[in-house]
Amino acid sequence: MFIAIPVTDDGMVDPRWGRARSVAVAELDENNKLVSWQSHVVRWDELHGEGAHGQHHARIIRFLRENSVEAVLVGHMGPGIAHSIDKMGILIGTGAQGDARALVQAAGAQIREELARRSASDGSASSVSALDSGVPEKGERKNLLG
């Protein structure tokens, strides 16, 4: 399973998703153990306002596809990109903060469980938020990080 998370140079969660300088892609095995960690300098902080409308979201979507990302952990995410990622079937976990590697490992089992639940139901995408403790519906967010 591949999880993307915005990171700072010192390995902490960058609170900015669409304006992150770097994004790490973590691979967890079937036991939710960290197999690999690759930090990518994406420069979304510099590229955010460049190009035609929608080009930045396309850049983010391309990154997620190229890295086979199944879940994204973020502090928060704007509704436009959240909608695009939701349509891709990628799980969104909000409320991320602290040490990025530790967070990915701590959330691995919950992410895998939510992905399995979603795939067993109608296959529709769902995302997760700190404000909702129930089973998320498509487009909702629930905190998987607590």
Give the residue with greater pLDDT, 47 vs 145: 47
What is the average pLDDT value for the chain, to the nearest integer?
84
Does residue 145 sit within a domain? no
What span, in angstroms and rounded, lies between the C-alpha atoms of 139 and 124? 9
Counting Cα atoms < 13 Å in the Cβ hemisphere of 91 gives: 28
Domain annotation covers residue 49: yes
- Is 72 a member of any domain? yes
Q: Which domain holds residue 57?
A: 2-120
Residue 127, in any domain of the structure: no
> Per the structure, how many domains does the chain have?
1
For residue 40, being part of any structural domain is answered with yes
Give the domain CATH number at 116: 3.30.420.130
Q: pLDDT digit string (tens) for 57-92?
A: 899 999 999 999 999 999 989 898 999 999 999 999
- Residue 65 within any structural domain of the chain: yes
Q: Does 135 map to a domain? A: no
pTM score = 0.82
Q: Does residue 128 lie within any of the structural domains?
A: no
CA distance 42 to 22: 5
Is the pLDDT confidence value at 11 over 90? yes
Retrieve residue 25's tokens. 């892609």
- Give the ranges where 1-78 is alpha helix by DSSP (H): 44-47, 55-66
